[in-house]
Chains A and B, each alone.
Chain A
């Protein structure tokens, strides 16, 4: 792992920006059972646009940093665009190529967000 990006991930894990809960919005929970990561995403969506989004939960540094960065990116995005987002975009966002197992960590945030958008 590139040392600079590694440091960014560790920093983001220790000092998250988007941790918390958006009250009165949509939410969804998803877990990665092989490693124990668990996430809850909550958001306020108006006119198909994500206005506010936060996460709660616990897990490894990569999953937590990735979802924190993802929350930054999601604000102001159309849900249609979010649904089209791919794993590669997550890797680009966190600035590194991921190994087989670590992809699961990094993608958990995006998968939970998609689950939330699809929920009633």
Chain B
């Protein structure tokens, strides 16, 4: 198997680090760090304002990323990409800039039980505030891929908000099929896809999926923290009103009223995370350089080995044992060691995993693991040896707790 660790400087400092928490945030390759350094040391200026060369270069680099991101996720044009501070901010932006102005009392929003809180609580609270009705797609239906959308979708359903990949189950949801099914009942339904777990792990094509909105984070796809993007298809973009006001998003400002900038700029008030956006562009280049097909292949080979090894362990329950239609996000429970202790004890051995409810409490309640699970999630830098160390670690800790 190919060794991708060499692209990540952290492994030079943290010898023997086993990082298995990429679903929370990924490590950063040197090309991304270099790009951040390049911005801060060569053209560290604000964008869209200054006429001096340094500022012009910053603007160019920043805008170039819009195009890179657009083609990376299969958008029609860079004008469909809004930079945000991450997935959460992107979903909140849809609620405030689009749903706020296009949904009215009595309208319905459909969300699933497997959502991360950021694609659940946003809609729950909007529904409360605007007297909308929140309908829930059950986990069982997802499991069997029989969505029963005919019972859940009707003419009043204005939005369906679902994750492309669950951050606990690793399951890849058949978005394309769901969209087609929902649109058969209500052609006017709009679809938001939470892509936090998919970008950087599987090939993404927003047009093929047929979604109106697609949200994702830079830091989970080898980019810097504090940045993400929202794809908004051309037609929905026209229905959105600015939600944040200030510099950079205005056309003309008078004492009584103001007008807005043309295009996506009107959703990017204030100085944006310039360095982070530029760094995210380098992360896109990094992934395209490897090739998403190769990323998928590398991670699915590791996933197969991981599932096999976990399956051999006593007192270990893997929440989703499916080998297909999923990525390397694996939640497990030890019947001997509570998830929090397992995460902590593995950490003491230099193995980083995540324990708890993973911001998906409704899902954990449903699967009956109210004390949480331990989640192992893969990235390109992982190796067979990492998994061997993990499995040995779990064995040893379980022995101590028995």
**Which residue of B337, B355, B364, B371 contacts A58 across the interface (Cβ within 8 Å)?**
B371
Q: Does A119 contact B (CB under 8 A)?
A: no
Given that A10-B401, A33-B357, A61-B401 are known contacts, is A1 also in contact with B348, CB under 8 Å in the complex? yes
Task: Judge whether A60 and B339 touch: CB under 8 Å.
Answer: yes
For residues 325 through 380 of chain B, which have their beta carbon under 8 Å from a beta carbon of chain A?
Answer: 337-341, 344, 348, 355-357, 361, 364, 369-372
What is the number of residues of chain A that contact chain B, defined by CB distance less than 8 Å? Answer: 20
Q: Does A37 contact B (CB under 8 A)?
A: yes
Bound complex: CA of A101 vs CA of B341, how far in Å? 11
Task: Judge whether A35 and B401 touch: CB under 8 Å.
Answer: no
Task: Judge whether A36 and B364 touch: CB under 8 Å.
Answer: yes
Bound complex: CA of A59 vs CA of B370, how far in Å? 9
Q: Does A53 contact B (CB under 8 A)?
A: no
Q: Does B400 contact A (CB under 8 A)?
A: yes
Bound complex: CA of A69 vs CA of B355, how far in Å? 24
Task: Judge whether B338 and A34 touch: CB under 8 Å.
Answer: no
Q: How large is the interface on B (under 10, 10 to 19, 20 to 34, 35 or more residues)?
A: 10 to 19
Q: Does A46 contact B (CB under 8 A)?
A: no
Main DSSP-derived SS at the A contact region: mixed
Task: Judge whether A59 and B371 touch: CB under 8 Å.
Answer: yes
Task: Judge whether A61 and B356 touch: CB under 8 Å.
Answer: no
Task: Judge whether A36 and B357 touch: CB under 8 Å.
Answer: yes
Bound complex: CA of A15 vs CA of B398, how far in Å? 16
Q: Does A74 contact B (CB under 8 A)?
A: no
Given that A36-B372, A102-B344 are known contacts, is A59 also in contact with B357, CB under 8 Å in the complex? no
For residues 6 through 39 of chain A, which have their beta carbon under 8 Å from a beta carbon of chain B?
Answer: 10, 13-14, 33-38
Contacts of A34 in B (CB 8 A): 356-357
